[in-house]
Amino acid sequence: MLGAVGGLAATATPGRAVSKTAPAGTFEILAEGLAFPEGPVAMPDGSVILVELTAGQVTRCWNGRTEVVSKVGGGPNGAQVGPDGALYICNSGGVDPSNSHLADPSKPGRIERLDLDTGKVERLYDRVGDRPLSAPNDLVFDADGGIWFTDFGKVLEHGYGRGGVYYCRPDGSSIREIDYGASGYNGIGLSPDGKALYFAMNHSARLYRMTIEGAGEVTQDENGTGPKKEFVGVSSSGVEFDSLAVTRSGNVCIGTNFDGGITTISLSGETSFMPLPEKMVTNIAFGGRDMRDAFLTWAVSGRLVRMRWSEPGLRLNF
């Protein structure tokens, strides 16, 4: 199914989304009826694997069909293929059975490994030291096979739990805290040279970066009290940032909620916005032979959508 998308073109201003930029062409609906889709992964065989958060499952979309790969349980929220070909999942723990807008406080968040051949699910991490993970949200692999991931913090009836940014090994051997204390850590990605780590803050619709000094090591602030977080850009008021993907040129494309679409922030902080007919565009992933196929998850309408992008996306490490 094809749909047309339109908008108004204008000049972008650093640090602000003051315009709505017309996207290039049409979108194609690849799958419908999905239960809060997130974490799309473009596979080499042309299929797209994604997670369905409220259904607690991993699903493959291919040639107009959907098939359940595994019922992992909880609330799978982000996914990436690792160096061993397995799917690694950020699992928030699940939603409150009486209110799907809230997290289930009794269920711990965790990082999981799913063997795509056997369907076996292995829990790698559910805590850092003595502190349980809250609601792992999104992840990205570095070139050495390590995992950088965000923890959103659980959405509770009377506020939000605290989350952070973490680094772990995919074999379950080690995990470390990079940043901690706020709520709403969401999308995460690496710069083309692998030297910068980007992360999006959901509630404030702000994008930050940290400088990577090694595996699980980032530049610390001048006081030595935590990581040095550089502000990159911000969207307009009334929206929230979700998951993200980086282009080959280094632009950061962020799923945007409530005024649904994709916010793109350049290296210099210039911000532009592509409106889409969906309230919650939760994620974007690049694929295809030329890396210009953009796969978007639309949570409210339960769709997986493909668009042709104006520039190639950055190929992931695995």
Cβ atoms 284, 248 nearer than 8 A: no
| pLDDT, average across residues 209-234 | 96
Q: Give residue 3's pLDDT.
A: 52
Provide the token pair at 240. Answer: 């929230």
Cβ atoms 134, 74 nearer than 8 A: no
Cβ atoms 302, 35 nearer than 8 A: yes
Distance CA 149, CA 166 (A): 5
Q: Using alpha carbons, list the distances in angstroms from residue 155 to 37, 224, 300.
A: 18, 30, 18
Domain annotation for the chain: domains and CATH numbers: 2-6+19-308 (2.120.10.30)
Could you write out the three-class secondary structure of the chain? CEEECCCCCCCCEECECCCECCCCCEEEEEECCCCCEEEEEECCCCCEEEEECCCCEEEEEECCEEEEEECCCCCEEEEEECCCCCEEEEECCCEECCEEEEECCCCCCEEEEECCCCCCEEEEECEECCEECCCEEEEEECCCCCEEEEECCCEECCEECCCEEEEECCCCCCEEEEEECCCCEEEEEECCCCCEEEEEECCCCEEEEEEEEECCEECECCCCCCECCEEEEECCCCCEEEEEEEECCCCEEEEEECCCEEEEECCCCEEEEEECCCCEEEEEEEECCCCCEEEEEECCCCEEEEEECCCCECCCCC
Q: Using alpha carbons, list the distances in angstroms from residue 286 to 108, 218, 289, 313, 314.
A: 30, 26, 10, 5, 7
Percent of the chain surpassing pLDDT 70: 92
Query: Has residue 5 got a pLDDT over 60?
Result: no
pTM of the model: 0.92
Residue of 242, 260, 237, 240 lying closest to 252 (CA atoms): 242
pLDDT-based confidence at residue 8 (cuts at 50, 70, 90): very low
| pLDDT, average across residues 76-104 | 91
When comparing pLDDT for 142 and 9, which is higher? 142
pLDDT in tens, 171-193: 999 999 999 999 999 999 999 99
Distance CA 138, CA 97 (A): 23
Q: Give residue 7's pLDDT.
A: 30
Q: Give residue 96's pLDDT.
A: 80
Query: Has residue 101 got a pLDDT over 80?
Result: no
Q: For 273, phi and psi rounded to 5 degrees?
A: -135, 135
Query: Has residue 29 got a pLDDT over 90?
Result: yes
Residue of 276, 216, 260 lying closest to 24 (CA atoms): 276
Distance CA 85, CA 172 (A): 16
| pLDDT, average across residues 43-53 | 98
Query: Has residue 12 got a pLDDT over 80?
Result: no
Provide the token pair at 114. Answer: 């799913």
User: How confident is the prediction for the chain on average, in pLDDT?
Assistant: 91
pLDDT in tens, 111-157: 999 999 999 999 999 999 999 999 999 999 999 999 999 999 988 77
Query: Has residue 24 got a pLDDT over 70?
Result: no
